[in-house]
């Protein structure tokens, strides 16, 4: 008996001494496989860094598996394989983002200046440099502003209904259809406003029509985020207020909403950032214009996403440059909204419990 225990202990001790690869192995493998990938790539005359990268990734994965299998045994090798695969996945996701940001900044900054931000495309020859995106910026601000004015009240009230009042069938139906609404393709929202507002009611193309489609896309996002935030408000606060004899609606307005206001603001700003980049409904409803149109209720307007599409379609170097510059403006706008929203979320996060 005691012999057996000793034996087992000895066995385990020997397995603890099993060979392990040193900690720096993965790093060395990364450098090595990158070199091998670049080497094979240049040797075979492959121009694109895509293939070299793919080869390097493959070499890295296979090498870490084989090294693991030879030195550490099968189970550890599979673990190393999984680890290297997960790291490769992560790199695969980061590369396009970096490339996209780099391209946009690098090619956008050649044209982006005060002139670009302050002038429209009215009377500009499209194959020549010059012109700007002022009309598109105005259009985006007005359309997104109108959409926010429509969507935020409805979204907020719906979320309040779902959290504070909603029981029963109606609440269930609303919850389900809010989820369904988040999945509506933006072009379908555009087609709906097209068939209803422009074809049947016979209004013309205008910024407001675009704003209505954007509002449809924005509502479910606002409802979802507001709902989450209202659920975070502790019930004790509501109960304390109700116990003091405050009516429910004042409790909601004066206690629940102020507590959650930081999160709600974040949600609204993220929703604004989302719809500011929508171009599909704009193509159908706003129709695009080269001149400045300050009135969103009458006549065609432009918007930044539409401007990018239009300049891309013109297909010459000057227009490509303008498209990149507008993309840079749009990305900056969206990213700043995102950063500010997240800042507010962190700053005003409701303290859960105590």
Partner 1 sequence: MKTDIEPTSSAAGSPPKVRTRSTGRAGDKIFLALSRGSGIALLVIMAAIAAFLTYRAAIAISKDEANFLTYFEWNTGSSPMRFGIAVLAYGTIVSSIIAMVIAVPVAVGIALFISHYAPRRLATPVAYVIDLLAAVPSIVYGLWGALFLVPHLTGLYTWFDDYLGWTGILSYQGGAARSLFTVGILLAIMILPIVTSVSREVFRQVPKMHEEAALALGATRWEVIRMSVLPFGRSGIISASMLGLGRALGETMAVATVLSPNFLIETSLLDPGGGTFAQNIASRFKEAGNDGRDALIASGLVLFVITLLVNGAARMIIARRKEYSGTAA
Chain positions 17 to 46 lying near partner 1, rule: CB under 8 A, are: 46
Asked whether position 51 contacts partner 1 by CB under 8 A, the answer is yes
Asked whether position 340 contacts partner 1 by CB under 8 A, the answer is no
- Residue in 30, 61, 136, 162 binding partner 1, rule: CB under 8 A: 162
Q: How many angstroms separate the CA atoms of 288 and 206, rounded?
A: 9
**Segment contacting partner 1 (CB under 8 A): 113-121, 130-138, 277-285, 343-351?**
277-285
Asked whether position 222 contacts partner 1 by CB under 8 A, the answer is no
Asked whether position 297 contacts partner 1 by CB under 8 A, the answer is no
Asked whether position 323 contacts partner 1 by CB under 8 A, the answer is yes
Q: How many angstroms separate the CA atoms of 253 and 295, rounded?
A: 34
- Residue in 31, 94, 128, 314 binding partner 1, rule: CB under 8 A: 94
Q: Which of 171, 177, 176, 276 is CA-nearest to residue 218?
A: 276
**Segment contacting partner 1 (CB under 8 A): 111-119, 128-136, 294-302, 334-342?**
334-342
- Phi and psi, residue 301, nearest 5°: -125, 180
Question: Residues binding partner 1: what is the number (CB under 8 A)?
Answer: 98
- Residue in 143, 158, 290, 302 binding partner 1, rule: CB under 8 A: 158
Name which of 260 and 330 has its Cβ closer to partner 1. Answer: 330
Asked whether position 126 contacts partner 1 by CB under 8 A, the answer is no
Asked whether position 314 contacts partner 1 by CB under 8 A, the answer is no
3 state SS for 135-174: HHHHHHHHHHHHHHHHHHHHHHHHHHHHHHHCCHHHHHHH
Asked whether position 164 contacts partner 1 by CB under 8 A, the answer is yes
Q: How many angstroms separate the CA atoms of 132 and 119, rounded?
A: 5
**Segment contacting partner 1 (CB under 8 A): 112-120, 130-138, 258-266, 275-283?**
275-283
Asked whether position 125 contacts partner 1 by CB under 8 A, the answer is no
Name which of 164 and 298 has its Cβ closer to partner 1. Answer: 164
CB 181 within 8 A of CB 220: yes
**Segment contacting partner 1 (CB under 8 A): 126-134, 216-224, 228-236, 344-352?**
216-224
Q: Where are the alpha helices (DSSP H) in the chain?
A: 2-16, 25-43, 49-72, 74-108, 114-118, 134-160, 168-182, 186-193, 207-232, 235-243, 248-251, 257-276, 280-285, 304-314, 317-347
**Segment contacting partner 1 (CB under 8 A): 22-30, 115-123, 131-139, 247-255?**
247-255
Asked whether position 232 contacts partner 1 by CB under 8 A, the answer is no
Residue 121's SS3 state is: coil
Name which of 65 and 134 has its Cβ closer to partner 1. Answer: 65
Name which of 50 and 297 has its Cβ closer to partner 1. Answer: 50
Smallest distance from partner 1 to CB 64, Å:
12
The encoded tokens of residue 191 equal 């087609």
CB 161 within 8 A of CB 174: yes
Q: To the nearest 10°, the Cα dihedral for 76, 79, 81, 84?
A: -120
Q: Which of 277, 275, 297, 276 is CA-nearest to residue 286?
A: 297
Asked whether position 200 contacts partner 1 by CB under 8 A, the answer is yes
CB 322 within 8 A of CB 131: yes
Burial of 85 (0-12, 13-18, 19+ CB in 10 A): middle
Smallest distance from partner 1 to CB 196, Å:
5
Asked whether position 240 contacts partner 1 by CB under 8 A, the answer is no
The encoded tokens of residue 1 equal 């008996």
Q: How many angstroms separate the CA atoms of 179 and 174, rounded?
A: 9
Asked whether position 345 contacts partner 1 by CB under 8 A, the answer is no
Asked whether position 62 contacts partner 1 by CB under 8 A, the answer is no
Asked whether position 192 contacts partner 1 by CB under 8 A, the answer is yes
Asked whether position 226 contacts partner 1 by CB under 8 A, the answer is no
């Amino acid at each position: 008996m005691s012999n057996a225990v000793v034996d087992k202990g000895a066995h385990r001790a020997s397995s603890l001494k099993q060979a392990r690869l040193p900690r720096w192995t993965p790093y060395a493998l990364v450098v090595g496989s990158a070199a091998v990938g670049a080497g094979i790539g240049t040797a075979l005359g492959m121009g694109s860094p895509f293939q070299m990268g793919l080869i390097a990734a493959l070499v890295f994965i296979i090498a870490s598996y084989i090294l693991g299998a030879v030195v550490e045994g099968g189970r550890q090798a599979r673990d190393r394989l999984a680890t290297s695969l997960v790291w490769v996945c992560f790199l695969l996701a980061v590369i396009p983002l970096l490339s996209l940001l780099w391209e946009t900044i690098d090619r956008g900054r050649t044209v982006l200046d005060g002139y670009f931000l302050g002038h429209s495309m009215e009377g500009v020859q499209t194959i020549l440099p010059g012109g700007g995106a002022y009309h598109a910026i105005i259009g985006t601000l007005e359309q997104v502003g109108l959409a926010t004015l429509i969507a935020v009240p409805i979204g907020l009230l719906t979320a309040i209904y779902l959290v504070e009042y909603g029981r029963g069938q109606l609440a269930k139906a609303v919850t389900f259809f809010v989820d369904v609404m988040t999945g509506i393709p933006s072009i379908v929202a555009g087609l709906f406003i097209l068939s209803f507002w422009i074809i049947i009611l016979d209004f013309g193309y205008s910024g407001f029509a675009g704003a209505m489609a954007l509002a449809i896309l924005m509502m479910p996002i606002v409802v979802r985020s507001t709902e989450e935030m209202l659920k975070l408000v502790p019930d004790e606060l509501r109960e304390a207020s109700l116990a003091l004899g405050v009516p429910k609606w004042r409790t909601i307005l004066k206690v629940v909403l102020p507590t959650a206001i930081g999160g709600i603001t974040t949600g609204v700003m993220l929703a604004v950032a989302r719809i500011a980049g929508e171009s599909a409904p704009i193509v159908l409803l706003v129709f695009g214009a080269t001149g400045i149109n300050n009135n969103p209720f009458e006549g065609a307007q432009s918007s930044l996403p539409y401007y990018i599409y239009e300049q891309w379609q013109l297909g010459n170097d000057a227009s490509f440059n303008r498209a990149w510059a507008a993309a840079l403006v749009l990305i900056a706008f969206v990213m700043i909204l995102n950063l500010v929203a997240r800042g507010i979320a962190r700053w005003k996060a409701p303290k859960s419990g105590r």
